[in-house]
Structure 1
């Protein structure tokens, strides 16, 4: 399977040199990685995945685009619920007399997060 390094780099419109500088390897290494002539070490795959904000498996080509999109949607939903919890907690601090109401809302949002995490876990198996 071909990795998606070159595709993602071009989508971001960055040079091999800039990417190399960002993750701490040489431009030549990036070129070899993109051609599949050299395999990055695990720590380099992780740096690349973080840089492009994609799962390592997607970058390596072992995860399909549709799988990546499903995983990203679950992750985005999880962050959405976390943001909601932060807002509820802020309200709760301003209105301590309504803490029971807000506590129930927070538990409801935690349940949503648990479901998304289960979806991610089931997806990865």
Structure 2
């Protein structure tokens, strides 16, 4: 998932992103395991946080 790539590039942890965005660490774990897919509102939150267009995560 592109989220993991950008998180690693910026030397962040799921914990830090969770604290900064309000998206729970368990949500990230569910995405990674395939138990759930990110909803558009959470993708928009991540795009704003990482200062990238929403399309970055939708490609």
TM-score range, shorter chain: 0.7 to 0.9
Are the aligned partners of 1:23 and 1:48 in contact in 2 as well (CA < 8 Å)?
Answer: yes
1-side partners of 2:40 and 2:5: how far apart? Answer: 20
TM-score by length of 2: 0.81
Query: C-alpha displacement at 1:49, in angstroms?
Result: 0.4
Bigger radius of gyration, 1 or 2?
A: 1
Higher helix share: 1
Unaligned runs of at least 5 residues, structure 1: 63-125
Higher relative contact order (CA 8 A, sep 6+): 2
TM-score by length of 1: 0.42
Look up the match of 1:12: 10
Specify which of 23, 28, 36 is matched with residue 30 of structure 1: 28
